[in-house]
Amino acid sequence: MVGLIFRIVLAVAAAVTIYLIGAAIIRKFHIDPPPEPDPEDVRPVDLRYRCGVCGAEVTMTASSEEDPTAPRHCREDMELVSSTST
């Protein structure tokens, strides 16, 4: 009887320990999103990018930067296909 109670207490303690360790690890992955850009700083652009790996295309119509960095796809920077000044 005492052995059964000891096993139950040990199992509950192990489950709580595993849960707390897992929750702490998952909590460390939390990254805050970048702040929203000021609507007055956003300017229209007309840029088309293509992924060199899979061929996916992206059209960028607004940017908060004068010369925006290329988006990433397939873990690589996309290639600028066309640019039109607006």
> In a structure prediction context, what are the per-residue pLDDT tens digits for the chain, which is 86 residues long?
888 999 999 999 999 999 999 999 999 988 888 888 788 888 888 999 999 999 999 999 988 887 888 999 999 999 999 876 54
Could you tell me the residue range of the domain that residue 74 belongs to? 43-84
Helix (H, G, I), strand (E, B) or coil at 54: coil
Structure tokens at 38: 């000021």
Q: Is 37 within a domain?
A: no
Q: Is 38 within a domain?
A: no
Do 47 and 27 have their domain in common? no
Q: Is 36 within a domain?
A: no
What is the number of other CB atoms lying within 10 angstroms of the CB of residue 52? 13
pTM: 0.55
